Amino acid sequence: MQLTVRRETGVTVVRADEARLDAAGVLAFKDRFREAVVNVQGRVILDLGSVNFLDSSGLGAVVAARKFLDDGVALELAALTPAVERVFRLTRMDSVFTIHPQVEDALTG
């Protein structure tokens, strides 16, 4: 699982650069995400714009990613594709996470 990390003042953007976040890739995702957010402060935006498929394992990995953050650091999601957004909506996780239409919306909001 490839992740791209971009840091701006008070915000870290972590982009998942894979088409699928499923059982085959969740361990690598969690390991790389944990490395990407060590000692971050402010907000973390997880950009899922490249992810076209997310199963229950992938959803669990995103939920687990929140636990890697220090107290006071928020995890927000951005750029969910329709299939991924549907999973979040059906599981009501859209009420747990702040979800932005695009990364730029998260950065200005």
User: Which domains, from first to last, does the chain contain?
Assistant: 3-108 (3.30.750.24)
High-pLDDT (> 90) share of the chain, %: 92
Q: Are 29 and 7 in contact (CB under 8 A)?
A: no
Torsion of CA 42, 27, 22, 10, to 10 degrees: 10
Alpha carbon 78 to its chain centroid, in Å, reads 7
The model's pLDDT over 79-101, given as tens digits with 9 standing for 90+, comes to 999 999 999 999 999 999 999 99
Of the pLDDT bands very low, low, confident and very high (cuts 50, 70, 90), residue 62 is: very high
Place of tokens 């990407």: 36
pTM of the predicted structure, to 2 decimals: 0.95
Strand partners, 98: 76
Alpha carbons 58 and 26: distance in angstroms, whole number: 6
Q: What is the pLDDT of residue 84?
A: 98
Alpha helix locations (H) across the chain? 26-36, 56-67, 82-90, 103-108
The pLDDT score that the predictor gives to residue 31 is 96
pLDDT level of residue 1 (50, 70, 90 thresholds) = confident
